[in-house]
Amino acid sequence: MKARTIYPGSAEGEALVSREPIGFYGGIDMKTGIVIEKGHELEGKCVKDKILVFPYGKGSTVGSYVIYGLKKNGVAPKAIINKETETIVATGAILAGIVCVDGIDIEKIENGTYVMIEAGEKEAEITIK
């Protein structure tokens, strides 16, 4: 699948997929990488070393710094795939140096599948195994 690059690089790993938006501030514990938002479909799951797939981010602009904190604490996802990356997630991914792409139908990615991303300066290729 072709995608738009938000932050370039290569990443591969197991997909952790949410059909719901993710709010990083108050939604993911920056020290553990565990989703703590009550009632969220990923509640209790850890984003560490996953290819985190979700439609878009939600909530406070502080979410950008939570993404950076996840990376600093060694519990960040390997990459982020969105249907549409908004400013909060884009800023966080860039600050943290996390591969980030968007512009794809995330319904085609199932939880637990193996995903490879090759993201150039503008375009990315996503392979699902």
Q: List active site positions.
A: 60
Residue 124 bridge partners (DSSP) = 3, 119
Cα 37 from Cα 14, distance rounded (Å): 22
The single residue listed with the structure tokens 């059909």 is 19
Closest to 47 in 3D by CA, of 22, 84, 19: 22
Residue 82 bridge partners (DSSP) = 54
